């Protein structure tokens, strides 16, 4: 698994680099749409949704207004596109919670989809979450989507425990840990589109390993730590 740590390169630097790259200005490329989403996300974070206008979004993206309106009818459409960005893995989770394959396979698919989604979103997930939490009226489905993803992961894990495929684990703690692993990888590797597939597979593998392991070594290690006081 050739996943390299990004080391000292922060998303701030990545974004700064992104802003400087040559842009197509014909308004017709998918890059233009993405530049608008990134610019909108940054403005929503910096000044809030209410104080962000389409012209400010277009200006920050370095795109003229008529081209911006080619892609989005208005600010509401930009918001909707950003929110939709966040729902691809939920669709996979719904399918897998109801599917009939081994729990490990289903967990693998959901985690892989979730990491792949976060690595290709227009904003890093934790910043998207910040924008959504700051103005829930503008991102009405965010909190419910997040809760549903966590619930569906717990359903998959619980079914693996019930069938004996996974050794004892609390489905809620398992889901929390799997989400934390996915978010941690997304935080560390955001912006590295060329490695997104490898990172998604690594996270999915490690999530399955967490759930398929015997809890005995961890319980013994905890006892050893607690014996020290």
How many Å apart are CA 143 and CA 222, to the nearest integer?
34
Segment 147 to 166, residues that bind a copy of itself, using CB under 8 A: 147, 150, 165
If the CB atoms of residues 78 and 202 are measured against a copy of itself, the closer one turns out to be: 202
Residues 109-139 as b/e (b if ≥16 CB within 10 A, e otherwise) read: bbbbbbbbbbbbbbbbbebbbebbeeeeebb
Q: Which of 36, 121, 155, 182 binds a copy of itself (CB under 8 A)?
A: 182
Q: Say what angle helices 142-163 and 88-98 make with each other, to 10 degrees.
A: 30
Answer yes or no: are the C-beta atoms of 109 and 91 closer than 8 Å: no
If the CB atoms of residues 2 and 22 are measured against a copy of itself, the closer one turns out to be: 2
Q: Does position 137 bind a copy of itself by CB under 8 A? A: no
Q: Does position 181 bind a copy of itself by CB under 8 A? A: yes
- With a CB cutoff of 8 Å and minimum separation 6, the contacts of 27 are 63, 64, 66, 67, 68, 70, 71
Q: Does position 99 bind a copy of itself by CB under 8 A? A: no
By three-state DSSP, how is residue 3 classified? coil
Q: Does position 42 bind a copy of itself by CB under 8 A? A: no
Total residues in contact with a copy of itself, by rule CB under 8 A: 65
Q: Which residues bind a copy of itself (CB under 8 A)?
A: 1, 3, 5, 7-10, 12-13, 101-102, 104-105, 107-109, 112, 126, 129-130, 133-134, 136, 143, 146-147, 150, 165, 169-170, 172-173, 176-177, 179-185, 187-188, 201-206, 208-215, 217-222, 224-225
């Amino acid at each position: 698994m050739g996943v390299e740590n990004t080391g000292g390169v922060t998303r701030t630097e990545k974004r700064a680099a992104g802003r400087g790259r040559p842009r197509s200005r014909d308004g017709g490329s998918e890059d233009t749409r993405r530049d608008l989403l990134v610019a909108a996300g940054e403005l929503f974070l910096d000044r809030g949704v209410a104080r962000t206008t389409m012209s400010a979004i277009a200006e920050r993206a370095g795109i003229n207004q008529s081209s911006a309106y080619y892609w989005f009818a208005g600010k509401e459409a930009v918001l909707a596109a950003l929110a939709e960005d966040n729902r691809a893995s939920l669709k996979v989770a719904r399918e897998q919670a109801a599917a009939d394959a081994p729990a490990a396979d289903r967990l693998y698919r959901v985690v892989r989809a979730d990491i792949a989604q976060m690595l290709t979103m227009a904003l890093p997930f934790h910043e998207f979450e910040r924008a959504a939490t700051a103005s829930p009226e503008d991102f009405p489905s965010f909190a419910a989507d997040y809760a549903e993803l966590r619930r569906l992961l717990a359903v998959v894990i619980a079914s693996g425990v019930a069938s004996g495929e996974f050794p004892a684990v609390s489905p809620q703690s398992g889901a929390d840990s799997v989400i934390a692993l996915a978010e941690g990888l997304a935080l560390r590797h955001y912006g590295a589109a060329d490695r997104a597939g490898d990172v998604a597979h690594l996270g999915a593998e490690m999530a399955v390993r967490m759930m398929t392991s015997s809890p005995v070594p961890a319980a013994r290690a905890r006892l050893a730590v607690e014996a020290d006081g």
